[in-house]
Amino acid sequence: MIILLFIIMLFISPRIALLILLLAINPVFVLLWLLVWLAIKL
């Protein structure tokens, strides 16, 4: 069920699905990734 939901999300938005997967593995890494992403956007 969770895998199916992940596959659906992957089709809808790969970046968000990747973030959720990384968040499940390592929240600190996600925070660093968000900071880098914001730095690139700004």
Query: How does pLDDT run across 19-37, given as a tens digit for each residue?
Result: 777 778 877 877 788 888 8
- Domain boundaries in the chain? 2-41
pLDDT at 1 > cutoff 80 = no
Query: Could you tell me what percent of the chain has a pLDDT over 90?
Result: 5
What b/e string do you get for 7-32 counting C-beta neighbours within 10 Å, with b at 16 or more? eebeeeeeeebebeeeeeeeeeebee
pLDDT at 41 > cutoff 80 = yes
pTM of the prediction? Answer: 0.38
SS3 13: coil
pLDDT for 39 equals 92
Mean per-residue pLDDT over the chain, rounded: 79
